[in-house]
Amino acid sequence: VIHSKLTPKASAAGGPEKNTTQSKPASLAPHNPLKQSAPRSAFLLCKGFCYTISMSIIETLKKEFSGEVDVSLPTRIKCATDASLFEVLPEAVVYPKSTEDIETIVRFVSTHKKEFPQLSVTARAAGTCMSGGSLSESLVMDVTKYLNHIEEVDLASQTIVVEPGVYYRDFD
């Protein structure tokens, strides 16, 4: 299976832009009947069924992790984009409910990295990065669902303690 990293989104004219980050002979390209006439997001739908990490490792993560693990295609497509020009479909999206969950995810990836070298975790908040920093082909850790509270406001010292999933609009 050939996977490309950081694939440009469809152009403003409506057609898919050429992927300049990778070239491959037509004989090695995966068969994709939608690629010729469909927008880039449809190509993601086709590509989205090819897992590079074993689903058994996802099941193992679900047992060790108290947060949510979502492998549904709509959720993965939602996390395949940010404010950049790229689309990268993750294998799964995890929603930590606590800092302990974050520690569990990082420890899990570290423990299983030798068995699954492509396993990684990428933190994601609002998806406003314009360089593709919140995109990953492996695990995306979305902190906006549960870790989105303003913990403490201290007007005397002019400090505020927030969780990583707080949106700026809510903070302001």
Q: Is the pTM of this model over 0.95?
A: no
- Is the pLDDT reported for residue 87 higher than 70? yes
The answer to whether 69 touches 118, Cβ cutoff 8 Å, is no
Q: In which element (H, E) is residue 112 found?
A: helix 99-112
Dihedral angle over CA of 32, 36, 41, 46, nearest 10: -10
Longest dimension (CA), the chain: 67
Please state the length of the chain: 172
As a whole number, the mean pLDDT across the chain is 76
Mean per-residue pLDDT for 73-101?
93
d(CA 83, CA 145): 19
d(CA 126, CA 137): 18
Dihedral angle over CA of 8, 44, 135, 168, nearest 10: 90
d(CA 128, CA 153): 25
Name the E strands within 43-82: 68-70
Reported as a single tens digit per residue, the pLDDT across 13-59 is 444 444 444 444 433 334 333 333 334 444 444 444 445 667 888 89
User: Residue 133: what pLDDT?
Assistant: 85
Q: What percent of the chain has pLDDT over 70?
A: 69
d(CA 132, CA 169): 22
